[in-house]
Amino acid sequence: MNVKYSMLPGWHSICALIFIFLLAACSEEEHNYTATPEINDTYITQLDDVIKQMTALQQNSDYGNKTGQYPAESRSILTDGIDDANRAILLIKYQNPSPSESEKKRYLDNAEKAIDKFKASVRTEDAETIPAELFVDGKSNQSYIDFGRSKDYTVFGDAGNQSFTVELWVKIKEHGPNDNSMFLSTFYSNSTAQWRNGWMMYWRNANGGIYRTTWGGILSSNRWGLWEPSFAAPADNEWQYFVFVYSDKGLDGNPNLRGKLYLNGALVSTQENGNASEVYNSSDYANYDKPMTGFCRWVNDNTMEEGFSGYMKNIRIWKEAKDATYVQSAFNGQVSVTGKENNLVAAWNFTEKPLGANDEVLDLTGKHTAQLIGTYKWERK
């Protein structure tokens, strides 16, 4: 889940001392916030239960523009409700004197009202949408998409047992000043190249232009643990459907066939790793803090580079290796993704202008938010 909305169990206990000082500034009366042993209180139990309900609603509700779905912006009702309920628990636990019975009841009522408010926001008719394509002017490396930082994008299971698929449509209008024009990237390496982590898909200035996917593997004497299948790049200024499929256990019954690249529904490149221990690396996720990005990537932890100007749409990340039948069907427009599919990690269409703030786009699963940074525009189709 996107860290912007993630909930860590018991976080209110860990952060209590920090919040003590913050609460003092906004209290309506004088209180002593000396840390005292945690207390048992039925309101704490009830608030915890409501927090669980709000979290489940937030993660599992269907967001979109159709009747019966929730507007993307309604998600913030639950986000705020969860934050307020956690703050209320801190007040009950650590405020001295303790909140009165009526105050604690008010905290619980407000949390329950957040659920009611969210449920009341469900669409009773289809919303009018504006068909549009998202253009990002990323060639200057200052405009890009920030998808947030999430394990969902990078970690697909235990080491040696990971499979995933990334698919996207891209149209390049103008390349930036670097050799690479980055489509999507979670890839990270430290400055001494001692470990490589994640994946990236991009155009590279080599042999007249190539499409390539790079992913980090267990460090070996060969290629520093990198795997980089590629193929001759198609024409710019035209929509291209680019797919990367990977499995530690192998594809099509071949344990050495780890990666496949597809262009416009056809298989165009593969990667075979003869060493069974050379598998996709996501073990270093905790060692860096950069988000997944589109139209550029973070280089050496502090520089944004490798941008391009153009369009992307129908981005999907799956926690499974999709087969050739799926890829061909998706290319032909025969696949409809709703956000409720098994093993779907994240999905953005970028084919309609958002109804609210046009610089934030909630993904189809309702778990992740893409932030548009810099110069971009929604162009009517």
The confidence band for 140, taking pLDDT boundaries of 50, 70 and 90, is: confident
- pLDDT (tens digit, 9 = 90+) per residue, 242-253? 999 999 999 999
pLDDT at residue 151, rounded to an integer? 94
Kind and range of the H or E element at 88?
helix 75-94
The confidence band for 106, taking pLDDT boundaries of 50, 70 and 90, is: very high
pLDDT at residue 194, rounded to an integer? 53
Top-confidence residue, 288 or 305: 305
pLDDT at residue 26, rounded to an integer? 43
Write down the mean pLDDT value for the chain.
Answer: 86
Q: Which residues contact 302 (CB under 8 A, 6 or more apart)?
A: none
Which residue segment(s) compose the domain that 223 sits in?
Answer: 131-380
Mean pLDDT of 215-227: 66
- Is residue 3 a part of any domain in this protein? no
Mean pLDDT of 138-153: 93
- Percentage of the chain beyond pLDDT 70 is 85
- Is residue 313 a part of any domain in this protein? yes
Kind and range of the H or E element at 360?
strand 360-362
Residue 304, domain CATH: 2.60.120.200
- Percentage of the chain beyond pLDDT 90 is 63
- pLDDT (tens digit, 9 = 90+) per residue, 179-191? 999 999 998 766 5
Q: Which residues contact 143 (CB under 8 A, 6 or more apart)?
A: 136, 137, 295, 296, 307, 373, 374, 375, 376
> Do the beta carbons of residue 229 and residue 212 sit within 8 Å?
yes
The DSSP-derived string for 256-313 is: TEEEEEEETTEEEEEEE--STT--B--TTGGG--PPPEESSEEETTTEEE--EEEEEE
Do residue 97 and residue 237 come from a single domain?
Answer: no
**CB environment 114-137: b (16+ within 10 A), e (fewer):** bbeebeeeebeeeeeeeebbbbbb
Residue in the structure block whose two tokens are 């698919």: 167
Do residue 80 and residue 149 come from a single domain?
Answer: no
Do residue 220 and residue 157 come from a single domain?
Answer: yes
Do residue 74 and residue 145 come from a single domain?
Answer: no
Sign of the torsion angle spanned by Cα atoms 147, 264, 342, 197 = negative
- pLDDT (tens digit, 9 = 90+) per residue, 120-132? 999 999 888 889 9
- Is residue 141 a part of any domain in this protein? yes
| Closest of 152, 196, 159 to residue 279, by C-alpha | 159
Do residue 101 and residue 167 come from a single domain?
Answer: no
pLDDT at residue 62, rounded to an integer? 85
Top-confidence residue, 191 or 94: 94
Q: How many domains does the chain have?
A: 2
pLDDT at residue 285, rounded to an integer? 81
- pLDDT (tens digit, 9 = 90+) per residue, 324-375? 999 999 999 999 998 889 999 999 999 998 877 779 898 998 889 999 999 9
Do residue 104 and residue 156 come from a single domain?
Answer: no
Mean pLDDT of 141-162: 93
The confidence band for 109, taking pLDDT boundaries of 50, 70 and 90, is: very high
